[in-house]
Amino acid sequence: MSAERLLDDNVLLEELRKGSPEAVETLFDRFHGKIFGLAMSILKNESDAEEAAQDVFLTVFQKAHTFKGNSALYSWIYRICVNACLMRLRGKRRQETVSIEEFMPVFTEDGMHTNRVEDWSKEVERKMLDKELGKVIKKFTDELSEKYRVVFVLSDVEGMSNEETAQILGLTVPAVKSRLHRARLFLREQLSRYLQEGKTA
Amino acid sequence: MNCKELVYLLGEYLDGSMEEHLRKDLDSHIAMCDSCTNFLNTYDKTRVICRQVQLSEIPEEFRERLRSFVVAKAKEHHQGIEKYRRMAAEEQRRQVEELLRAFREGRLSSSLSLLFDTHRDRCETCGEFLRAQNGGVVPETIPPNIEEHLAEFLEAIPAGEEPFRT
C-alpha cells in the first residue's frame, strides 16, 4: 500500500476497515489537529477536547463501514466531532456566555442607526499582524454561545460553504446564514467597542 | 430601504445571493448613508480578519497521548472484528458440514430433500461435488465456493421447518 493511495478517502476507509496500521496513522496525522482545534473551540477546555477527540476516533473506527462516500470524509468526521462535543456539553452546566442581544445593532423607530457608525476597517488593517488583536478576536469568539460559535468556526474560520456547514450540523442553509450573520454582527460590535476603548484609553 | 433593513440583508448582499432589484435599493441607500457605508465596511472587515483566527493547536504532550490511544484502540477494535469474523466463518463451515452429513446419511427433511436433489442435478457450481457425496464419499475438504453456495442455500430455506434430523 503506497502512502499516496491513502490520500484517497475511500481507499483510506477501506484500509481502515481491514485494520491497516498505516491507514490508522494516516487518519490520525490528517485529522487529529483539526479535530482537537474544533473540539477546543466548542468545549474551550483542553482535557475535554482531548476526551472528545478520543470519542471521535472511536466512532470513526466503529462506523467506518457506514461511510458511503456521499459526502467528503472531512465533513463526515467534522460532523462526528461536533456531535461528540455537543454530547459532552449536554452533560455539563452551561458555560457563562455573553448575551448576544446586547451586541446587536440598535435602530431608531424609523429604522435609522441610533448612533453614528464609525469606520475602523482601515485602522484594523494596520493592526492585522498584531498578536494582541488575534487574542482579542479569539476571546470574543469564545464569548459566543455554542449555537453561534460552532457555525462561525465552521464557516468563517474553517472556510466551509453554508451548505457544508448545514450538512455537518444538521441545520437548514437559512438557519446557518442567520446564525452566521448574528455571530458576525456580535463580533463587529465587540471589535468596534474594543477599538473605541483603545482610542479613549 | 432604511438602515435596519440593510443590516438585516447584509449577509446576502455580501455573498452575492441577493436579487438585483434589492441590491440596487441597498446600493442607493449606502450611497447616501455614512453610517451604513461604515457598517458595511466594518462588517466585511470583521469577516476577513476572523478568517485569521487560528484553531487552538494541540499541545505536543496531548498529541502523543492521543496518538497512543488511537493506535491501541484501532488495534483492539480490529481484533474484535477479526474474532467475530472467525466465529462467523467457523459457524458457517459447521452448518454446511452438518448439511452434507445429513445428505449423505439420508436425514434431510422431505421438502429439503426434494430441493436438494434438484439442486444437485442442476447446479453448475456444486452439482458434481454433491453427486460424489451421493456415492457416500466423505470429502476431505469443502471447496470455499461450494461452502459459500451451500451456505446461501441454507439461508434461503424458509423458517419454521427443521431442514434435517440431527
pLDDT in tens, B26-47: 999 999 999 999 999 999 999 8
Residue in B closest to A38 by C-alpha? B55
A52, pLDDT greater than 90: yes
Q: Which of A113, A122, A165 to mutate to test the interface with B (most CBs of B within 10 A)?
A: A113
Residue in A closest to B43 by C-alpha? A188
Assigned C-alpha cell, A145:
454561545
Query: How many helices (H) and strands (E) would you count in chain A?
Result: 9, 0
How far does B78 lie from chain A, in Å, by closest CA? 6
User: What confidence tier does B102 reach under pLDDT thresholds 50, 70, 90?
Assistant: confident
What local confidence, expressed as pLDDT, does residue B140 receive? 83
- What are the tens digits of pLDDT across the range B122-138? 888 888 888 888 777 78
| A104/A185 Cα distance (integer angstroms) | 6
Segment A111-138 mean pLDDT: 84
A169 within 8 A of A151, measured Cβ to Cβ: yes
Domains of chain A in sequence order: 5-90 (1.10.1740.10), 100-200 (1.10.10.10)
> How high is the ipTM of this complex?
0.83
B160: left (phi over 0), alpha (psi -120 to 50) or beta: left
Instruction: Kindly state whether A73 is in contact with chain B, defined as any CB-CB distance less than 8 angstroms.
Output: no
B53 closest CB neighbour out of A24, A116, A141: A141
| A82/A41 Cα distance (integer angstroms) | 10
Q: Please state, rounded to an integer, the average pLDDT across all residues of chain A.
A: 88
Instruction: Kindly state whether B32 is in contact with chain A, defined as any CB-CB distance less than 8 angstroms.
Output: no
How far does B64 lie from chain A, in Å, by closest CA? 11
What's the N-to-C CA distance of chain B in angstroms?
Answer: 86
| A165/A155 Cα distance (integer angstroms) | 6
B9 within 8 A of B18, measured Cβ to Cβ: yes
- What are the tens digits of pLDDT across the range A38-47? 999 888 889 9
Contacts of A185 in chain B (CB under 8 A): 7, 43
Q: What is the DSSP letter of A113?
A: B
Among B78, B49, B118, B15, residue whose Cα is nearest residue A17: B78
How far does A17 lie from chain B, in Å, by closest CA? 8
| A152/A78 Cα distance (integer angstroms) | 14
A83 within 8 A of A58, measured Cβ to Cβ: no
What local confidence, expressed as pLDDT, does residue A129 receive? 66
A107 within 8 A of B3, measured Cβ to Cβ: yes
What local confidence, expressed as pLDDT, does residue B34 receive? 94
Using DSSP, state whether B25 is helix, strand or coil: helix
